[in-house]
Amino acid sequence: MTRLAEVQLDTLSDEMRAYLKGASARDKMLLTPTAHAPELMTALHKFAEVLAERGTLPGRLVELVRLRVAFHNQCRSCMAMRYQSGLDDGLTEDLVCSLERPEESPDLTDAEKAAIAYADVSATNHFAINDETFQRLRKYFSEPQIVELGLYIGYFVGFGRLVAAWDMVEELPGSLHDKLSRATPWRVDSFVVSN
């Protein structure tokens, strides 16, 4: 059960109450933080919307990076989700499975491997990021794209860890409930979220 208190519908705005009344159990779980702090969560969602609307990175790459960071964060909610923009840009479950060993995958582009390697080190040991990390990124990305990638990674690492701490798993596939085992975004029942 999520560590956040259950949302009391009578404390919400009419708009939020109407939305939550018609939402599925999974959507109610995902909207719990928004319902508790709507203005703050709206601002955070707006940041993500601006990245998606104004960014230049392909949706497939962003989704691969997000899922790899979710694995490092052990954010089970994040691992179960697939964003429509990534699917529309060619993300498949086979590509998600390639995240198990991204450097060895023939299905990932060199640019995707560089971005995933940057996400890996950012999520696990950011002090190990060095000049070589950026030299590799510059082979495939412009400086604005490197900034954009960094903003996505920062958002995914920070928010993913927060959601993992909130333990929002009750409406996820059963394979993601066992907190004693390391979860993965590959080989899991997933669901699609529109952007």
If one compares 3 and 126, the residue with the highest pLDDT of the two is 126
Query: In the chain, where are the structural domains located?
Result: 57-193
Instruction: Compute the distance between CA of residue 125 and CA of residue 131 in angstroms, rounded to an integer.
Output: 15
CATH classification code of 57-193 = 1.20.1290.10
Among 118, 94, 123, 88, smallest CA distance to 108 is for 94
11-15: Cβ within 8 A, 24+ apart: 13/38
- For residue 135, the model assigns a pLDDT of 98
| pTM (two decimals) | 0.86
- For residue 18, the model assigns a pLDDT of 80
- For residue 192, the model assigns a pLDDT of 81
Among 145, 67, 139, 64, smallest CA distance to 108 is for 64
If one compares 172 and 79, the residue with the highest pLDDT of the two is 79
> At 91, is the secondary structure helix, strand, or coil?
coil
pLDDT digits (tens, 9 = 90+) for 118-141: 999 999 999 999 999 999 999 999
Q: Are 81 and 190 in contact (CB under 8 A)?
A: yes
If one compares 144 and 5, the residue with the highest pLDDT of the two is 144
Structure tokens given for 24:
């599925």
- Mean pLDDT over each residue of the chain, to the nearest integer: 88
pLDDT digits (tens, 9 = 90+) for 4-47: 887 777 888 888 778 777 776 666 766 778 778 888 888 888 99
